[in-house]
Structure 1
Amino acid sequence: MTDVVDADELLRRIRVARDWAAEREAEAGSLPGTGEGADPTAAGVDRVVFSVVREVLDEIINPGTHSRSR
């Protein structure tokens, strides 16, 4: 990646990534995990991972608005 981007473009890209992570988090949370070959533990891990990614990107966009007590 050799593109030079300004702060507005960087913020736009972070927001797009945050929205994508939120969508994946919702998808992982709605998966029943009961289909053939499905692993309910993996679906739960996916949900947690995407949740953490979304929270980190939220903190970048809005610093200091999230709890650090976790």
Structure 2
Amino acid sequence: MTDVVDADELLRRMHRARACALEEGRSWRARSEALRSTDPEGAREAAVRTVAYEAVLRVLDEVLTPGRNADRRSPAD
């Protein structure tokens, strides 16, 4: 990654990353629900991946719109 990018390009990349994280989180959530009755271990793995994408989404949301989701923070914050 030696290319220099301007602020607008960086913002576009972060918005694309957010959209990707949102879609992947939805996909893994659906997979977890679909596997729940037939493959409990696979459902657990999919649920863990869902949580990981949700964490990425929260971080990107905070970077892109600081303070907007302050009410969604955990009590430990």
| TM-score range normalised by the length of the shorter chain | 0.7 to 0.9
Determine what percentage of the aligned residue pairs are the same residue: 41
Task: Provide the residue aligned with 1:39 in structure 2.
Answer: 42
In the other structure, the counterpart of 2:67 is: 64
Task: Work out the CA distance in 2 between the residues paired with 1:20 and 1:33.
Answer: 22
Structure 2-normalised TM-score? Answer: 0.80
What is the aligned partner in structure 2 of residue 30 from structure 1? 30
Task: Looking at secondary structure, tell me which structure has more helix per residue.
Answer: 2
The alpha carbon displacement at 1:65 in A equals 1.0
Runs of 4+ aligned structure 1 residues displaced above 2 Å come to none
CA distance in 2, matches of 1:23, 1:33: 18
Matched, 1:21 2:24: no
Q: Secondary structure at the match of 1:4?
A: coil
CA RMSD of aligned residues (A): 1.9
1:33 shift after superposition = 1.9
Q: Which amino acid aligns with 2:54?
A: S
